[in-house]
C-alpha cells in the first residue's frame, strides 16, 4: 500500500504521515493550510510526498537510506578514467 505524508521543507522532514491515498493527503494538506496562521508561508513549505515503501519516515524520491544502498553498488564499479 502506498503511503503519503506531508513534507515540510523548513524542517526537512514529515509533519504528517499515515495517509494512504493521494486524496487523503491532499485533503490533510488543505486542512493544515486552512488552520495555519500564515497560509502563504505554508503553501511554500508544505507539500504532499509519497513515502519510501522500504524505509519509515523517508520520502520515496530522495530516500537517504535507498541512496546509500545505491552508492555502495556504484563504488564497486569505478568509472574508467583511463579510456
Ligand atoms: Zn528507502
Q: Which grid coordinates belong to 21? A: 491515498
Q: What spacing in Å lies between the alpha carbon of 54 and ligand 1's midpoint?
A: 5
Alpha helix (H) ranges present in 36-78?
39-45, 64-75
Q: How does pLDDT run across 9-63, given as a tens digit for each residue?
A: 888 899 999 999 999 999 999 998 888 877 565 567 899 999 999 998 899 999 9
DSSP 8-35: ETTTTEEEEEEE-SHHHHHHHHHHHHHH
Please state the domain extents for the chain. 4-75
Q: What spacing in Å lies between the alpha carbon of 65 and ligand 1's midpoint?
A: 5
Q: Which grid coordinates belong to 37? A: 496562521
Phi, psi of 51 (to 5 degrees): -85, 150
Please tell me what DSSP assigns to residue 4.
E
Q: What spacing in Å lies between the alpha carbon of 48 and ligand 1's midpoint?
A: 17
Structure pTM? 0.72
The Cα–Cα gap between 30 and 41 comes to: 13
Q: What spacing in Å lies between the alpha carbon of 59 and ligand 1's midpoint?
A: 7
Q: What spacing in Å lies between the alpha carbon of 60 and ligand 1's midpoint?
A: 6
Amino acid at each position: 500500500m502506498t503511503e503519503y505524508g506531508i513534507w515540510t521543507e523548513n524542517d526537512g522532514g514529515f509533519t504528517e504521515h499515515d495517509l494512504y491515498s493521494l486524496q487523503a493527503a491532499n485533503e490533510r494538506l488543505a486542512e493544515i493550510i486552512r488552520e495555519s496562521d500564515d497560509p502563504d508561508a505554508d503553501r511554500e513549505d508544505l507539500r504532499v510526498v509519497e513515502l519510501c515503501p522500504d524505509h519509515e519516515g523517508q520520502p520515496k524520491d530522495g530516500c537517504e537510506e535507498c541512496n546509500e544502498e545505491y552508492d555502495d553498488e556504484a563504488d564497486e564499479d569505478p568509472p574508467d578514467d583511463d579510456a
